[in-house]
Structure 1
Amino acid sequence: MAVGMVGVLLLLPNMDAQADPKPTVAQAKAKLKKLNEQADKLVDRYNAATEKWKKAKKQYVAVNDEYREHATQVDALRDGVVSIAVSDYQFGDLALSGVFYGSDPESALSGMAALDQLSQERARKLEQYESAVSGLKRRRDKKKSVYDSAVKVKKDLAKEKEQVEKLVDQQTKLLRELGAFNAGNPNSAGAVYAGPASGNALAALQFAYKQIGKPYRYGGTGPGAWDCSGLVQAAWAAAGVNLPRTSYEQWAWGSGRRVSLDELQAGDLLWHSGYGHVGIYAGDGKVVHAPQTGDVVKVVTLSEYRPIGAVRP
């Protein structure tokens, strides 16, 4: 009987073994951090594709407008030539009679030369315009190809980004349940920068500090939410320096401006997490950045940030 009871107990589900323990706040944050590190690269590629798409679309629209303008001019010229041809057909005898049957042979020859010259000039102009339109059409088609390619890239990356965001949403839900999610305030007044920066670095940091407390959001370029590179780009734009949109592009842009981590100055750009994340060194061992989903623009210590590279704009 005892053996039978043991068998029954073995067959019963072990609820303690099957139930997943509820993760701690630290475990949830660690999992979210790992996910965001993976997502940084994907979102950076998505942002780059978006910029490529915007630029390609702008180029295509501009050259297409130019093509249409010249095409309209050619159509008008062609209509004019057709109209002249019809007129010559209908009234040719009257026009030519003045040339061939005039009392002055020299005037007749001069008139014939003028007609020939006029005809050649019309043909030359038409040929020039048609050649110009042909060239514009090739340019337009090329830009259209670039635009179509960029659209495809954007769509493909958007699908990948959607999958990552689903996972991030799961973690966000978990953090909310644990009371560890910081929604931030899109209208945050931020803070006043009082560090050692000067010149355009001071302007950049003053802008960045005014964003403190605003939420992090993938693809965010302000004013109510930011991603890491969006914040850095906007901050330095306020200082009169144009940076590329993504963290990887910003790192490449600064290839000739890199500085040692031992020689940091306030305003320097700092990367961590495989160059998929960028922030701004504020001086005094502090970094201002837009960290990850579920967090806000904030200031952290260098030891917390763990930089791996720096650029001085």
Structure 2
Amino acid sequence: MAVAGIPVRLLRIPVAAGLALALVTVVPTGSAGAEPKPTPAQARKKLEKLNEQADLLVEKYNQASEKWKRARKKYRALNDDLTRQGERVAGLRTELVTMAVSTYQFGSITGWEGMVSQTDPGALLSGLAAVDQLSASRAQSLHAFDEATKELRDSRDKAKDALAEADRTRDELAVEKARVEKMIKAQQKVLREVGAYNPGNPDSAGIQYNGPASGNARAALEFAFAQVGKPYQYGGTGPGGWDCSGLVQAAWRSGGVSLPRTTWEQWSWGAGRKVSLNDLQPGDLIFSEGLGHVSLYAGDGKIVHAPQTGDVVKVVPLSAYGRRLVGAVRP
């Protein structure tokens, strides 16, 4: 992407005596007024800034996505509970209707036909309350029906609230998604202009891990190394593409440790597991300043990570990380 602020230069060239001065305007190839192509150094600087901004936007998107998943799960659970409550109320209603019919047949209650055909629970209860000398078991059934209908109303209200919450978080997710995609287009444009865009291979077989890790850390790193060459994909949790926290989560899942989904949650999860950047061990999670990015320490001064849009899962020296570090966590 062209860097804003670089003016098209006007070159004034003197000509032979007796002729008027000619003003020659140098215009880049393309439409009039187009900005010149940035130098590699300018493109790298702009890309670094875009990457930092994208890291934070992607994590906000991931946070919104996880929030929406939780809200949707909550609604589904409450809706299932509502269904069970409805079935229970229907069963109790049938029991009460049977009781009313039996009482009519043997106790001569007048008007029972209208009473049992009532669809309103309150009206049915009022009618049944008029039955003289209810047995203890019938009274219990009446009370159970009353309580069940109250629980049904409560469950319905909770389910409605949970659905509204899910709808709100879905809208938040859409907003964050739009922001991320706008940022990604800017990154892709810069990368293509300087010939550095790497689409990756979703079917990459990766590379073998031969580092010093052992135990579950080795299992995590073997998984991560097997993803090398696959494209970075915002919100990606595999198998064909990954974002940074998605890769770390899946790698450690392979190592038998359950991590939260986002970098912010992973950092918070590791509050009691922080380690010094001078005391790193293979498998440690390394976080950038602002918690927009996370990588796995592979040992021997190297890391494996999913860098950013237009790049692939790769192994690089920690010294080439390109981001300011804030700390590390040991799962």
2:69 corresponds in structure 1 to: 54
Q: Tell me whether 1:238 sits opposite 2:254 in the alignment.
A: yes
- Contact 1:269–1:312 (Cα < 8 Å) also in 2: yes
CA spacing shift, 1:156–1:60, aligned 2, 3 Å:
closer
Aligned to 1:50, what secondary structure does the other structure show?
Answer: helix
1:110-154: CA deviation from partner (whole Å, max 9, x where unpaired): xxxxx9886332232342344245335435533542442243133
| Superposition TM-score, scaled by structure 1 size | 0.82
1:261 to 271, 274, 277: 277
Query: Residues of 1 paired with 2:155 and 2:99: CA distance?
Result: 32
Q: CA deviation at 1:243?
A: 0.5
Q: CA deviation at 1:188?
A: 0.4
1:272 corresponds in structure 2 to: 288
Aligned length: 288
* Structure with greater proportional helix content: 1
- Contact 2:71–2:165 (Cα < 8 Å) also in 1: no
1:151-162 aligned within 5 A: 151-162=167-178
| Superposition TM-score, scaled by structure 2 size | 0.78
Q: Tell me whether 1:309 sits opposite 2:324 in the alignment.
A: no
1:129-148 aligned within 5 A: 129-135=145-151, 137-139=153-155, 141-142=157-158, 144-148=160-164
CA spacing shift, 1:142–1:192, aligned 2, 3 Å:
same
Aligned to 2:135, what secondary structure does the other structure show?
Answer: helix
Query: Residues of 2 paired with 1:129 and 1:163: CA distance?
Result: 51
Q: CA deviation at 1:90?
A: 4.8
AA of the residue aligned to 1:141: D
1:106-121 aligned within 5 A: 119-121=135-137
Q: CA deviation at 1:278?
A: 0.3
Q: CA deviation at 1:93?
A: 4.8
Query: Residues of 2 paired with 1:259 and 1:224: CA distance?
Result: 31
Aligned to 2:328, what secondary structure does the other structure show?
Answer: strand
1:1-313 aligned within 5 A: 15=27, 18-93=33-108, 119-135=135-151, 137-139=153-155, 141-142=157-158, 144-305=160-321, 306-313=324-331
Query: Residues of 1 paired with 2:268 and 2:156: CA distance?
Result: 30
Query: Residues of 1 paired with 2:164 and 2:60: CA distance?
Result: 17
Q: CA deviation at 1:20?
A: 1.9
1:98 corresponds in structure 2 to: none
Query: Residues of 2 paired with 1:47 and 1:33: CA distance?
Result: 21
1:35-78: CA deviation from partner (whole Å, max 9, x where unpaired): 22112222212212211221222222123212212321222221
What is the CA RMSD across the aligned residues, in angstroms?
Answer: 2.8
Q: CA deviation at 1:262?
A: 0.7
Question: Deviating runs (4+, > 6 A) in structure 1?
Answer: 115-118
Is the deviation greater in 44-53 or in 161-170?
161-170
Q: Which runs of 5+ in 2 are unaligned?
A: 1-16, 110-130
Query: Residues of 2 paired with 1:117 and 1:273: CA distance?
Result: 75
Q: CA deviation at 1:244?
A: 0.5
Query: Residues of 2 paired with 1:307 and 1:93: CA distance?
Result: 84
Is the deviation greater in 54-63 or in 135-144?
135-144
- Contact 1:67–1:133 (Cα < 8 Å) also in 2: no
Query: Residues of 2 paired with 1:146 and 1:40: CA distance?
Result: 30
1:229-271: CA deviation from partner (whole Å, max 9, x where unpaired): 0000000000110100000110000000000111110110001
What is the percent sequence identity of the aligned residues? 59
Q: CA deviation at 1:283?
A: 0.6
